[in-house]
Amino acid sequence: MAKEITWTRNAAGRMVPSAINGKPVIPYQGVGKYAPTGHKHGPPIPSCRDYPPDGDKRVASLKEALVKAGLRDGMTLSTHHHFRNGDYLANMIFDIAHELGVKDLRWFPSASFPCHEHLIPYLEDGTIHHIEGSMNGPLGRFASEGKMKGTGVLRSHGGRYQAVQDGEVHIDIAVIGAACADPFGNANGLYGPSATGLLGFALADSQYADKVIVVTDNMVPFPCVPWQIQGNYVDYTVEVDKLGDPEKIISGTTRITRSPDRLYLAELTARFCEVTGIIHEGFSFQTGAGGTSLAVGEYFREIMKEKGIKARFARGGSNKYLVSMLEEGLVEYILDGQTFDLEGVRSMAENPNHVWTSPFTSYNYHGKGNFAGMVDVVILGATEVDVQFNANVVTHSDGYLLHGIGGWQNCLFSKTVILPIPLFRDRIPVVVDEVTTLCGPGELIDVIVTERGIAINPRRKDLIEKVKGSDLPVKSIEQLKEEAEKICGKPRKAAFTDKVIAAIKWVDGTVIDVVRQVRKDEG
Amino acid sequence: MKDTDKLISSVGNEGGKVRSDCRITLEIKDSGGLVVDLTSKVKSMYGDRMEALTREVLSFFGIPHAHVRIVDSGSLDLVLAARLEAAVKMIRPDETREYLPPLLQENRYPSRRDAFRFSRLYLPGNTPALMLNAGIHKPDGIILDLEDSVAPDKKEEARYLVRNALRQVNFYGAERMVRINPLPAGLGDLAVVIPHNVHMILVPKAEDPADLRLIDETNRKILKEHDREQEVFLMPIIETALGVERAYDLATAVPSVVAMAIGLEDLTADLGVARTAEGTESFYARTRLVNACKAAGIQPIDSVFSDVSDMEGLEANALRSRALGFEGMGCIHPRQIRVIRKAFSPTPEEIEKASRIMEAFREAREKGLGVVALGSKMIDPPVVKRAERIMRLAEETGSLPGKE
């Protein structure tokens, strides 16, 4: 099976291997170049005769559900990050697997969080072979030090849907944590102590996994409506005391940054959108949940109010600020991928114009189109951007893998992509010669806004034209890089060993780059 | 802080919220060479460079044997060098040599006696993280503060940090000010900072015109020693009842006094009254100061507004302040800059009126008329003067119509 690994230079100029974890992979071929063939993956055909006629699929415990689902060595288990850093479920699953002595599992989360540091002993003792999903914080550090048995695979939210649909990842058991569910398996994220708004990240898993378990801490009698997850896909339902720590699942309130430097970045970003006419009647936008992104939204609000402009839709991560724009009529629809605060959850439950989406509608490469490309402007972050406008979101300049991709790669397909980033952070330049890890090709990244100037991708002649005569501080990306180096000094590149610790997938499933083990300084 | 045998010193900052800084513990030894023990998040990127700089600085001061422990949180070279120098000088107080990083070309610009000073941003003198991006918020001036924002045991190390910041941090055209400590400590501050293109010295708790003369003399002497042709302006800050009573004498103490500020926290304490938002308790002091400044032909500058989250209160305060005759305020947070700038900038109505007056004035002069009239109204020379000032203000603040 595992043939000799060969290395090729992919279309982005990065050296990538022919196989990851013993399975062949395809090198990145360029944006929109890879044409998939064949048919979508299909799960086994079930029959309703095998399920309780009264619809009650409850089993006594998560352990019983996992055993009934046939948990055994080498399986792929999927979980979802709706509970974010307050998640108990993934930790419970692998506690059970460890107790049962099951080995070499592949964990396929839609994202991991620092709370999953709990799983490091299971990565050490072989319960978990490797992770295919984001590795935030401690897990990323663990992987970066070369300690994970297998190789990590990082995908975007859309890429995860793609990998499930085309069979690149075959999920044996999907465990879906839901804030509200009924015994049949209908589930949503709207109601209960662990409310998260929606369950979009679990949608593909419910449809394509061999076995599906729904776990809730808020079991209601049939019907649980709306059924964001349909019980007809579900094998077992389980009631537990608590799915997570509500304080950490969702913040009671999201807060706009108070850092004057970040507010300045946000304001400059919004002014850029004003000057270039990106903010126009009926436009659409997406900003993230980071403090700077939230602030960009607030400056959008000021400009829209002043000019009497309304947005047709905004893509969430929703939060109280976006919700208030919806309720004030500045935004007609929120198409929401995840809710970041309780106001977002409330609005989604109450307001028909606050619509939940999934990576299928928004990001999927195997869809007959998706929403990402319809968005006029998206505001994203990055750990590094280089003079080719290539960007990195997963590793830091010291080489450590510390973040996931999330929807970031998918959002690059928006009509205008703007990255407001500081020129340097605590001496670490953010605008660099060449990104440590390539996550997004420069041809999709249009504008870099830093506190010391705005760089527009030379491909965007239209934008360059539109800012002419304005007082916006436009510079070339090379100028910005030089300024960063003048202030910080030229950094030494991160040093790596030859060992690949993770592959970075592009939205189509090809390998755009790999991350290697960090070489530790002696002493 | 000096150890008993005076061979160990510890300077700088470390811990939770500290950024862009480092803490250094230096122990000078008799033998064993230089041992550098560096802990840093950016070690893999800058560790070599930081160690090389450490060796360079210590060798500059003739220290071949020492143990240096550096706990770093992303300090730039200018910060590390300042900390090292401070560590050396804590152990060797008589050391007079200075390790100077280059004075950047972009930090060599001059200021002007009559520069506008609407907003001047205070930067604590021992907190490098707040200095690095200060200029991007475009204050009229930045104040590197060696006085109240620096703890007593940090005064010495702050001097070197401020000096290196003056040489290496680009403040993007802001007037470069330093607030020194009250005399006599303030004279020691001057010796360290003055040669590095300081435009203005803020003198706290000013009460005695003789102090201002001494500071002015000291500045001239230092500049002469460094072959620098430059005038360093003074801005006394009045913070006591006695200072208020001597306002005019202070304003006219030396020609280099170009502006005078009031510090209401200390003043209200000295008066034994509570400071209120309306400021009734300081009304006399403020109008007295304005009057003294106008009589002396210098700029009266108002106190800071200390609630950084209350932008509406700040705006109201700034508008009141302008109405009293003040020509600027201090800022303790970058977000205050724009509000203050706007409040002190001329309104469109004022600009309109001023431009009509100037037009009438030019016409009258062309026609050789001694009297200027606008419509049926006679325009007096002071009105023209005020209009002239508003037009200059409008131009410099970019408030002229058609700009932006």
Model pLDDT, residue A1: 47
The verdict on B383 touching A (C-beta cutoff 8 Å) is no
Q: How confident is the model at residue B360 (pLDDT cuts 50, 70, 90)?
A: confident
Q: Which helix (H) or strand (E) holds A315?
A: strand A311-315
Q: How far apart are the first and last CA of chain A?
A: 41
Which ipTM was obtained for this model?
A: 0.89
Of the listed ranges A157-161, A468-472, B375-379, the one predicted with least confidence: B375-379
Q: Same domain, yes or no, for B128 and B77?
A: no
Model pLDDT, residue B3: 45
Residues 420-449 of A with CB under 8 A from B: 425-428
Model pLDDT, residue B348: 87
Model pLDDT, residue A73: 98
Write a three-state SS string for B185-215: HHHHHHHHHCCCCCCEEEECCCCCHHHHHHH
> CA A181 to CA B166: how far, in whole Å?
63
Distance from CA of B353 to the nearest CA of A (A): 27
Residue B403 is assigned to a structural domain of this protein: no
Q: Same domain, yes or no, for B172 and B211?
A: yes
Residue B402 is assigned to a structural domain of this protein: no
CATH of the domain at B275: 3.20.20.60
Cross-strand partners of A59: A238
Q: How confident is the model at residue B78 (pLDDT cuts 50, 70, 90)?
A: very high
Q: pLDDT > 70: what percent of chain A?
A: 98
Number of domains in chain B: 3
Q: Answer yes or no: are the C-beta atoms of A90 and A107 closer than 8 Å.
A: yes
Q: Same domain, yes or no, for B338 and B370?
A: no
Pairwise CB contact (< 8 Å): B44 & A471: no
Q: Answer yes or no: are the C-beta atoms of B84 and B58 closer than 8 Å.
A: yes
The verdict on B138 touching A (C-beta cutoff 8 Å) is no
Structure confidence by residue, pLDDT tens digits, A364-376: 999 999 999 999 9
Residue B28 is assigned to a structural domain of this protein: yes
Q: Region B80-102: what's the mean pLDDT?
A: 96
pLDDT exceeds cutoff 50 at B299 = yes
Pairwise CB contact (< 8 Å): B133 & A451: yes
* Cα angle A322-A326-A331, degrees, rounded to a multiple of 5: 95
**Nearest residue of chain B to residue A261 (CA atoms):** B133
Distance from CA of A493 to the nearest CA of B (A): 6
Model pLDDT, residue A474: 97
Residues of A in contact with B136 (CB under 8 A): 261, 264, 451-452
pLDDT exceeds cutoff 80 at B396 = no
Residue B1 is assigned to a structural domain of this protein: no
Neighbouring residues of B212: CB distance < 8 A, sequence distance ≥ 6: B203, B206, B234, B236, B250, B253, B254, B257
The verdict on B136 touching A (C-beta cutoff 8 Å) is yes
pLDDT exceeds cutoff 80 at B140 = yes
Neighbouring residues of B125: CB distance < 8 A, sequence distance ≥ 6: B144, B145, B146, B149, B150, B158, B159, B161, B162
Architecture of domain A260-494 in this structure: 3-Layer(aba) Sandwich (3.40)
Q: Same domain, yes or no, for B182 and B125?
A: yes
CA-atom Rg of chain A in angstroms: 23
Pairwise CB contact (< 8 Å): A263 & B335: yes
Q: How confident is the model at residue B5 (pLDDT cuts 50, 70, 90)?
A: low
pLDDT exceeds cutoff 90 at B152 = yes
What does residue B21 show for φ and ψ, rounded to 5 degrees?
-140, 175
Distances (CA, A) of A334 to A297, A316, A344, B276, B357: 13, 6, 10, 45, 54
Collapsed DSSP state (helix, strand, coil) of residue B65: coil
Q: Same domain, yes or no, for B246 and B143?
A: yes
> CA A104 to CA A125: how far, in whole Å?
9
CB atoms inside a 10 Å sphere around CB A8: 12
Model pLDDT, residue A316: 82
**Fold of the CATH domain A57-249:** Glutaconate Coenzyme A-transferase (3.40.1080)
Q: Same domain, yes or no, for B246 and B283?
A: yes
Q: What share of chain A is helix, strand, coil (3-state, %, to 5)?
A: 30, 25, 45
Collapsed DSSP state (helix, strand, coil) of residue A387: coil
Q: Same domain, yes or no, for B266 and B324?
A: yes
Cross-strand partners of A311: A283, A331
Q: Same domain, yes or no, for B238 and B123?
A: yes
Structure confidence by residue, pLDDT tens digits, A209-236: 999 999 999 999 999 999 999 999 999 9
For residue B44, give the nearest of A261, A426, A521 by CB distance: A521
Model pLDDT, residue B199: 98
Domain boundaries, chain A: 57-249, 260-494
pLDDT exceeds cutoff 50 at B403 = no
Of the listed ranges A312-321, A467-476, B98-107, the one predicted with least confidence: A312-321
What does residue A401 show for φ and ψ, rounded to 5 degrees?
-85, 115
Residue B241 is assigned to a structural domain of this protein: yes
Of the listed ranges A139-153, A266-280, B119-133, B335-349, the one predicted with least confidence: B335-349
Tell me the pLDDT of chain B averaged across its residues.
93
Distances (CA, A) of B252 to B247, B296, B302: 9, 6, 18
The verdict on A263 touching B (C-beta cutoff 8 Å) is yes
Q: Same domain, yes or no, for B77 and B199?
A: no
The verdict on B127 touching A (C-beta cutoff 8 Å) is no
CATH of the domain at B29: 3.30.230.10
Q: How confident is the model at residue B1 (pLDDT cuts 50, 70, 90)?
A: very low
Q: Same domain, yes or no, for B217 and B329?
A: yes
How deeply is B70 buried, as exposed, middle or buried, from its count of CB atoms within 10 A (0-12, 13-18, 19+)? buried
Domain boundary among B91, B125, B142: B91
Model pLDDT, residue B366: 84
The answer to whether the bond into B139 is cis (omega within 30° of 0) is no
Residue B96 is assigned to a structural domain of this protein: no
For residue A261, give the nearest of B46, B73, B133 by CB distance: B133
Closest C-alpha among B272, B132, B276, B260 to residue B201: B260
Q: Region A187-200: what's the mean pLDDT?
A: 94
How deeply is B402 buried, as exposed, middle or buried, from its count of CB atoms within 10 A (0-12, 13-18, 19+)? exposed
Neighbouring residues of A4: CB distance < 8 A, sequence distance ≥ 6: none
> CA A180 to CA A190: how far, in whole Å?
7
pLDDT exceeds cutoff 70 at A522 = no
pLDDT exceeds cutoff 70 at A327 = yes
> CA B212 to CA B256: how far, in whole Å?
9
More confident: A268 or B1: A268
CB atoms inside a 10 Å sphere around CB B93: 10
Residue B21 is assigned to a structural domain of this protein: yes
Structure confidence by residue, pLDDT tens digits, A246-299: 888 876 667 788 889 999 999 999 999 999 999 999 999 999 777 788 899 999
Domain boundary among B68, B91, B114: B91
Q: Region B330-354: what's the mean pLDDT?
A: 91
Q: Same domain, yes or no, for B288 and B353?
A: no
Neighbouring residues of A56: CB distance < 8 A, sequence distance ≥ 6: A183, A184
More confident: A89 or B346: A89
Model pLDDT, residue A523: 38
Domain that holds residue B363: 348-396
Cross-strand partners of A219: A181
Distance from CA of A482 to the nearest CA of B (A): 14
Closest C-alpha among B4, B5, B57, B60 to residue B30: B5
Q: Same domain, yes or no, for B151 and B267?
A: yes
DSSP B112-157: -TT---SEEEEEETT-HHHHHTGGGG--SEEEEE-STTS-GGGHHH
Asked if domains A57-249 and A260-494 share a fold, the reply is: yes
> CA A94 to CA A71: how far, in whole Å?
11
Structure confidence by residue, pLDDT tens digits, B16-30: 899 999 999 999 999
Q: What share of chain B is helix, strand, coil (3-state, %, to 5)?
A: 45, 20, 35
Closest C-alpha among A288, A301, A384, A290 to residue A338: A288
Distances (CA, A) of A416 to A357, A362, A374, A456: 21, 16, 10, 11
Domain boundary among B31, B58, B91: B91
Model pLDDT, residue A251: 65
Model pLDDT, residue A253: 63
Q: Region A485-500: what's the mean pLDDT?
A: 94
- Interior/surface letters B337-363, b for 16+ CB within 10 angstroms, e for the rest: bbbbbbbbbbeeebbebbbebbebbee
Bridge-based pairing of strands B22-28 and B66-72 is antiparallel
Pairwise CB contact (< 8 Å): B44 & A489: no
The verdict on B333 touching A (C-beta cutoff 8 Å) is yes
Name the residue type at position A160: R
- Interior/surface letters A98-137, b for 16+ CB within 10 angstroms, e for the rest: beeebbebbbbbbbbbebbbbbbebbeeebbbbbbbbbbb
pLDDT exceeds cutoff 50 at B77 = yes
> CA B253 to CA B75: how far, in whole Å?
41
What does residue B145 show for φ and ψ, rounded to 5 degrees?
-100, 120
Structure confidence by residue, pLDDT tens digits, B247-287: 999 999 999 999 999 999 999 999 999 998 888 999 999 99
Pairwise CB contact (< 8 Å): B42 & A425: no
The verdict on A495 touching B (C-beta cutoff 8 Å) is yes
DSSP B254-315: STTB-EEEE-HHHHHHHHT----SS-GGGHHHHHHHHHHHHHHT-EEEBPP---TT-HHHHH
Model pLDDT, residue B386: 85
> CA A25 to CA A193: how far, in whole Å?
42
Bridge-based pairing of strands B259-262 and B233-238 is parallel
pLDDT exceeds cutoff 80 at B351 = yes
Query: How long a stretch of residues is chain B?
Result: 404
